[in-house]
Amino acid sequence: MAEHPDYRALFDLTGRVALVVGGGSGIGEAGALALAAHGARVAVADVDQAKAEATVALITERGGTASAHVVDVRDTASVDRLVATVQAAEGRIDVLLDMPAINIRKRLADYTDEEFDRVVDLNLKGTFRVARAVAKVMAAQKSGSMILMSSMRGTSVEPGQSIYGSTKAAITLLVKGLASEMAEHNVRVNALAPSIIATPINAVIRDNPAWKEAYASRTAFGRWGETYEMAGPIVFLASDAASYVTGTTLYADGGWTVVDGRYKPPV
C-alpha cells in the first residue's frame, strides 16, 4: 500500500462480500445496510426468513446488492450450510458480522440448567460455530475481517446479567485467541461492544420509563444510542481503514464504561 493512499478509499468495500448473521433486525440490520452502502455485496442471514428478506429489500431499494438466507446458529449443520452456500454463490467471504444473542434476566441462583444452556449455546457457542466455519473460508483465501459481538456487559454488569455478561466476556477472549491464530492468514478478528442501543432485545427496558431513564443517565451522553450509530464502527472494522487492527474490542458504548456516576464534582 502506498505511504499516503487515497484515505477515503480505505472505507470502500466495493467488490467485497459481507456475511451478516442476525441481519434481520437491530444492529445487524443497520450493519448490513451500512456495508452495502459502502459497496459490499451482502448475504443477510437470520433465523427469521421474513426479516432477512426485509433487510434485503431495504438494501436493494437503495441500489445495493444482497441475498437472504435462513440460519439457526444453534445448529452446526445450519451454520455450515449457510457458509457453504454463500461461498459457492459469491466465491469468497470478505467480511463477517455475527450478531445473534439472547438474554434471560434472572439472578444466577434462580437460573435453571436449561436457561443457562440456552444463553450459552446461542451467544457463545453460536458465535463459535459461525466463526469456525468462516475462519476456514478466510484462511483459505488469505484475507478477511471478522466482527463478533461483545457488549459493555462483558465488563460491567448488574443483578440479573451474570450469565449474559459471562458470554460477552468470553467472546472478547475468543476474539483475542482467534486473532492470534488467523493473523498468519492475513485475517483480522475484532469485537464490537455496544451499550444501550435501542433494539428488540431491550424493548422491555425501554417500555419502563424509570428503567429507560436510569440507563440513559448512566451514559456520558445521557441518552440511548440508535442502531445506525453502530454503522461507523462496523464499516471501520470491516474495511482497510482498520488494516492494522486485530484482536481488540471496540467499545461503542456512549461512555458507559468510562463514567462512574452522574454527580458532577465541583472541579
Catalytic residues: 164
DSSP sequence for 151-217: -GGGT---TT-HHHHHHHHHHHHHHHHHHHHHGGGTEEEEEEEE-SB--GGGHHHHTSHHHHHHHHH
Spatial CB neighbours of 244, under 8 Å, sequence gap ≥ 6? none
* Residues present in the chain in total: 267
CA–CA dist 240, 221 (Å, integer): 29
Buried b (16+ CB within 10 A) or exposed e, 99-129: bbbebeebeeeebeeeeeeebbbbbbbbbbb
The partner residues of 69 in beta bridges, in order of sequence, read 45
Other beta carbons less than 10 A from residue 39's beta carbon: 16
CA–CA dist 174, 129 (Å, integer): 12
Q: How far is CA 264 from CA 180, 220, 259, 261, 267, in A?
A: 41, 11, 10, 8, 8
Task: Report the amino acid identity of residue 52.
Answer: A
